[in-house]
Chains A and B, each alone.
Chain A
């Protein structure tokens, strides 16, 4: 579908959100909790915090929960009963809307979709992803950790959003990218007014401070470069970069329960932990924190793009903002590009 364009006043946007909630939509939006802002379910428009640049965490957990039941089991004697986790999948609700996220977070879904459908199809991810409607708001002021423009997106990118809202005075322009967004607009057509592309303010000329292709070309040739070992000596391996990342999707599979009943689950995991790659023999292909941070850079800026034609990073900068050692991945990627 070609993009379609609408206008909606700030008042009507509030009405729109309140009305879809009344109509049983589950609306997930940035909302304040425990002195910080996270994506969470809201029960009215006022609970959404649209002033914050980015919530602490991305909404990855709505696509890939921190813990997910792959199946439940019960065993008695020689009989094993297994209950398929897909049957009881949670959060694959057709009426689920992510409201007020940013273009970087919106970009993560279609990027991750590739690895979850590479040959084997992960229907846990797919069921949630296909049912999610994403209404994002373009950013007006990225901060110093942001680098979405370098990551082939921009503060005004509509990639991954069903509807992108761009604020203009006391109204918003709504850029509708596909059927899912259009159906929602049509269902509440009294609140939206159709307009044309030329009325929508043009995107600003966002400047890049480095070329990601150069970062990749450094990584292509310098696996053994001493930079990795030296720069990441300060990394304490806490894994916060991977947990707060919208695109980091690596997971562990564990059994929880006993030999009579329980469940097999998958949990978020992190390439920053030594045990992530530890062999039974004691051998570990990635021994140092330098090896492990290099893997994260390689996966994001080289490996994923070679396999799936997309970088595994949207430039949200959460890994840098939340890093206890202030490792700024934008600065790292820029350094690598300069050394290329």
Chain B
């Protein structure tokens, strides 16, 4: 008889301080990653301080570790923030559906991430970069409010240096520093300037709701992407991750089980409840 709420313990291999209030934590169980697919999520906790829901931010093809990124905000994340390398984190998952990469083979892909919404995008993006030959041109657009809010700065070069891969990074107007060499402008604005067409292309988008809203509009109306070829991942407050606790639904869809990955076409049929 299995207790579906019982976590496993994972060891912290590495902690990367991404920004003043965000970190990426690399975990392993018995020295290995776990089986998961990009887009899926888990429940993470320092036992005693409560669980939080995070999407995986690493490529499932990196077999030595799995990772998530988080912002310290409440009791549970403050608990996790206080941990050190070698400490244990309780983990349940993986849960939810995933980005189906088989449908992306041979196509051009644009990855669009905003703020900490880049975390799940990074998982699918690195998955694709790990099997670079299976895809056409890859474009990465990453934006944050300010330079100080950009995560993953330590691996920007790694992303940039793949062949046939363009990496564009931007900050909102006013968020730049004097030595900033990237773009300045909101993500949807910069997106529109990219030399991309919707034909034979897939867009993967995640970020704050307002960014998703305008990025989807730009992709569809100005760049000619069909709704079926725009894929995003939703977040909603969750407790169980198992389709039981009853709070993450958008209309009849449970984000934890039917999602969190949805096409723009699927989102269109949902009520305005997210």
Contact = CB atoms under 8 A, between A and B. Distances in A.
B247 A115 contact: no
A266 B239 CA distance: 10
Interface residues of B, number: 45
Contacts, number: 131
Given A82-B6, A121-B4, A122-B4, A257 B48 contact: yes
A70 interface: yes
Interface in A288-316: 291, 295, 298-299, 302-303, 306-307
B246 interface: yes
Contacts of A285: 236, 250, 273-274
Given A120-B243, A253-B245, A75 B273 contact: no
Q: Is the interface of B mostly helix, strand, loop or mixed?
A: loop
Contacts of B245: 250-253, 266, 269
A115 B244 contact: yes
B237 interface: yes
B190 interface: no
Interface string B1-36: 111111101000000000000000000000000000
B4 A224 contact: no
Contact of A264 (B1, B5, B73, B273): B5
Given A70-B3, A71-B5, A255-B50, A223 B246 contact: no
Interface stretch (A10-18, A158-166, A206-214, A276-284): A276-284
A187 interface: no
Interface in B232-253: 235-237, 239-240, 242-247, 249-252
Contacts of B252: 302-303, 306-307
A254 interface: yes
Contacts of A280: 71, 73-74, 77
26 contacts: A70-B3, A71-B3, A78-B86, A78-B88, A80-B88, A86-B1, A118-B243, A224-B271, A250-B245, A250-B247, A251-B246, A253-B240, A253-B245, A257-B48, A258-B48, A259-B49, A264-B5, A264-B47, A269-B247, A277-B236, A277-B247, A279-B236, A279-B237, A280-B71, A299-B249, A302-B252
Interface of B: 1-7, 9, 45-51, 71, 73-74, 77, 86-88, 90, 208-209, 235-237, 239-240, 242-247, 249-252, 257, 271-274
